[in-house]
Structure 1
Amino acid sequence: MTGDNAVNIGSPQPPQKADVLARVCAALSAGDADTAKAIIDTDYPMVIGTKAQRRYTLTETLRTFYRDGFLDRYSGTQLIHPGALRTLSMLLPKEFPAHLNGKMTETHFAQWELFPTIDHVDPVARGGADDASNWVTTSMLRNSAKAHWTLSELGWTLHPPGDARHWDGLSSWFTGYLTDRPDLASSSGYLRRWLRATRVVQAERA
């Protein structure tokens, strides 16, 4: 058989997950628990992962951000260096607030929408590796939405990385601004940590 309506008998489609559970229910209704268990084990097995670990350092985090061009790999949106976001919130506390505990009513939405984080493409809790090959840059917003789901389960695609030579998430502005204003840098341990790590990565890439 040929044409658009052809059926590829040699490549059967995987069973629909709802259909798998429907067959399990049918087996249970028939009093056949062994068959129900076998159906689950074969067509919808339990995947046992491990507790998610966060092993990356601040420097490794920034290397990932630079590698991905400060681009949200799940949405294609340009993101902003965390230090730059915090600097803006300190300079413009009324217009661009950032509550230290993330209180929604006292935090500008950019602190979630444009704040870069590392996510595991294949969730660690479901067996994914916790190493750079499985790390991607995404916003805090998208990271929270993805949680422990896979891209295929969410219907998401992975965007290609950006180029940090063209967009560095305002990293250069952040380091330059604080270099010229050491009093501001010394006023915040958060800024100092990000500044040190950023300078290390910038030196590596020079």
Structure 2
Amino acid sequence: MEKIDVIEQAANRLLQHNVAEARIAIETGYPFHKMTAQGRNYTDKEKMAQFVRDGFIDRYSGQKLVNPGILKVLSYYMPETFPYHAHWKMEECHNAYWEFVPTVDHIYPVALGGADSMDNWATTSMLHNSIKSNWTLEQLNWKLYDAGDFDKYDGLTGLFTKLVEADKKLLSDSYIKRWYRLSVAVASK
């Protein structure tokens, strides 16, 4: 029986003032499963490794993403034109941060019992991560796109490191400094 049919059956039982049969319909046809969520535990180094593994491709849309540091460089030089907000408040932060900065998402949500492991991680934009939330790909009718090839598209990581090396004052920004160090570590491999 389809889930929607179970809901309809339970609602019809309620219409007949039969709460007990409605409860049985739900418990047998579409039961609630309480999950104990695992923690989410990955370092910036692990995130960068995931972005490289996925070739800076949003695995939920197929869109190209960028090294997080490059957008902050734009904000450093053009704070009014390309604003940054530490908490990414939408009314105070350029949309590019939401659209192009990668993050790690759990393909099968941790809140539903998914593992917090590399096998369950995918690179996605902050925008798609917030839309996906704790839903499965099936629930959203999304698919998992193939990973990209970091050797063909590096998420502008090479350009980011060149910008920082051309102006070492950028390293006074802790966000830029963190992603620069991670980017250099990736480039040295």
Instruction: Give the TM-score, by structure 1 length.
Output: 0.83
For 2:29, the aligned partner's letter is D
Counterpart of 2:34 in structure 1 is 48
Contact residue 49 and residue 124 of structure 1 kept, 8 A: no
TM-fit CA distance, 1:183: 2.1
Q: Please list the CA deviations of residues 92-138 of structure 1 after superposition, one character each: whole Å capped at 9, or x if unmatched.
A: 22221112232323221111111111111111111111111111011
Q: Please list the CA deviations of residues 123-175 of structure 1 after superposition, one character each: whole Å capped at 9, or x if unmatched.
A: 11111111111110111111111111111111111111111111111111112
Aligned counterpart in structure 2 of residue 23 of structure 1, from 9, 13, 29: 9
Contact residue 170 and residue 177 of structure 2 kept, 8 A: no
For 1:163, the aligned partner's letter is D
Counterpart of 1:192 in structure 2 is 177
For 1:22, the aligned partner's letter is E
Aligned counterpart in structure 2 of residue 146 of structure 1, from 132, 137, 156: 132
Matched, 1:158 2:144: yes
Gaps of 5+ in 2: none
**SS in structure 1 of the partner of residue 35 of structure 2:** coil
What is the aligned-residue RMSD (CA, Å)?
A: 1.9
TM-fit CA distance, 1:190: 1.4
Instruction: Give the TM-score, by structure 2 length.
Output: 0.90
Counterpart of 2:81 in structure 1 is 95
Q: Please list the CA deviations of residues 156-201 of structure 1 after superposition, one character each: whole Å capped at 9, or x if unmatched.
A: 111111111111111111122213322221x111122122222223
Gaps of 5+ in 1: 1-14
Aligned counterpart in structure 2 of residue 201 of structure 1, from 167, 183, 186: 186
Distance in 1 between residues matched to 2:90 and 2:38, nearest whole Å: 26
Sequence identity (%): 43
Distance in 2 between residues matched to 1:42 and 1:150, nearest whole Å: 22
Distance in 2 between residues matched to 1:28 and 1:104, nearest whole Å: 43
Structure with the greater alpha carbon radius of gyration: 1
Distance in 2 between residues matched to 1:201 and 1:36, nearest whole Å: 57
**SS in structure 1 of the partner of residue 79 of structure 2:** coil
Distance in 1 between residues matched to 2:40 and 2:80, nearest whole Å: 33
Single out whichever of 81-90 and 174-183 deviates more from structure 2: 174-183
Name segments (4+ residues, structure 1) moved above 3 Å.
26-38
